[in-house]
């Protein structure tokens, strides 16, 4: 059943977009993988640019992996150079191996820098 990740509601009668907020609908509600909510978040990768960060976040969430994005000053200043504009994608430590597989599929040439754990 189509699901709006913004409103967090199922939209059975909607088309491609949510009639309430206009966001694109997911084919179904994501099933989150089991993890301890108190475990630390670790960086799975760093990307430069907001578009890549949010695309990758969406792919990870479709796989059931919760993601947080930690941004540097770049989006405020409009820079993506020399460390500015860096976006670290953070995932629960227990889901790091699965998250790395998704990142590797998204960036087959290694365009994202993997962060050491």
Same domain, 62 and 103: yes
Q: For position 117, what pLDDT does the model report?
A: 40
pLDDT in tens, 33-46: 888 888 899 999 98
> 3-class DSSP state for residue 9?
strand
**Residue 93: closest CA among 39, 32, 45, 46:** 39
Instruction: State which residues form the domain around 108.
Output: 35-117
Please count the structural domains in the chain: 2
pLDDT in tens, 1-41: 888 877 878 888 878 888 888 888 888 777 778 888 888 99
pLDDT in tens, 75-114: 555 555 555 678 899 999 999 999 999 899 887 665 555 5
Same domain, 77 and 104: yes
In angstroms, the CA 88 to CA 69 distance is 6
Token pair for 13: 């009668």
Q: For position 92, what pLDDT does the model report?
A: 94
Same domain, 71 and 96: yes
Same domain, 68 and 40: yes
Same domain, 18 and 67: no
In angstroms, the CA 112 to CA 117 distance is 15
Same domain, 93 and 110: yes
Q: Which residues pair with 95 in a beta bridge?
A: none
Same domain, 20 and 70: no
Same domain, 91 and 110: yes
- Global pTM reads 0.65
pLDDT classification of 116: cutoffs 50, 70, 90: very low
Count CA atoms within 13 Å of residue 45 on its CB side: 25
Return the DSSP state at 91: E
* In the block, residue with structure tokens 């960086």: 43
Token pair for 110: 């290694």
């Amino acid at each position: 059943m189509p699901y709006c990740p913004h409103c967090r509601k199922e939209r059975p009668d909607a088309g491609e977009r949510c009639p309430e907020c206009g966001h694109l609908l997911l084919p179904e509600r994501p099933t989150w993988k089991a993890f301890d909510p108190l475990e630390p978040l670790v960086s799975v990768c760093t990307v430069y640019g907001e578009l890549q960060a949010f695309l990758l976040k969406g792919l990870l969430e479709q796989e059931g992996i919760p993601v947080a994005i930690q941004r540097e000053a770049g989006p405020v200043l409009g820079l993506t150079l020399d460390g500015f504009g860096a976006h670290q994608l953070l995932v629960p430590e227990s889901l790091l191996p699965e998250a790395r597989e998704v990142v590797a599929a998204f960036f087959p040439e290694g365009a994202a820098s993997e962060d050491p754990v």
